[in-house]
Amino acid sequence: MSTPLSPEAARTWQLLADRVADERDPRVKGNLEMVARHVEAEVRGDIPDLMSTLTAEPSYSFVGATDSVGPEGYEAVVGHYEWLVATGKNRLEFEVTRVVADEQTVITEGVFRHAFTGETLLGRRFTGEVELDPIAWYLAEYQALVVWRMSSDGLIEGEDIYAAEPPRVVGRLAPGERPHLGPVNRD
């Protein structure tokens, strides 16, 4: 289910938008535009638009504090994004602090922010001095770097996501606080 793009979320990747606007090399600008389009489609939960930014057989890897096998191939990647949308994990902030781009690669670095329930956090490794209530919502963040591999025709071949740390629990979210994070129906 696609949702409108939240201005609060979009503000967090403004550096990427600025880099698109400033880039003079047409190939590099196209790569940056494709990554920006992909990020926006993901946060909106628009899987058809998101998948149109990818090659026919994309592959993903997750390295670092969240080591796990990433999806490989079109159907697996669609399934991954369907899961993200169903859980609300796609509705995030990505506070981009660095963008590096050339003809084959775009690299974005920054802090990802998500809304997670205490129950979700209890099931994974995290840091923070918060006593978790399983039914409450919490703001969690982690530093990460994303390597976007670009094909010769300007589509994204996949993402290599390097998480520098487990999620840090920043604090409990009050009802209505940061409503653009987590599931659409989050209380």
Residue range 144-170, pLDDT digits in tens: 999 999 999 999 999 999 998 888 999
With respect to residue 73, please indicate whether it lies within any of the assigned structural domains: yes
Q: Is there a domain that residue 47 lies in?
A: yes
Number of domains in the chain: 1
Is the pLDDT at 8 greater than 90, yes or no? yes
Let me know how long the chain is: 187
Domain that holds residue 159: 7-172
Place of tokens 């775009």: 106
Cα→Cα distances 8→83, 92, 101, Å: 23, 10, 25
* Distance from C-alpha of 170 to C-alpha of 17, rounded to nearest angstrom: 27
CA–CA gap between residue 168 and residue 125 (Å, rounded): 9
pTM strictly above 0.85: yes
**For 25-71, what is each residue's pLDDT tens digit?**
999 999 999 999 999 999 999 999 999 999 999 999 998 866 577 89
Q: Report the pLDDT value the prediction gives residue 137, as an integer from 0 to 100.
A: 95
What CATH code is carried by the domain that includes residue 31?
3.10.450.50
pLDDT in tens, 97-143: 999 999 999 999 999 999 999 988 887 778 777 889 999 999 999 99
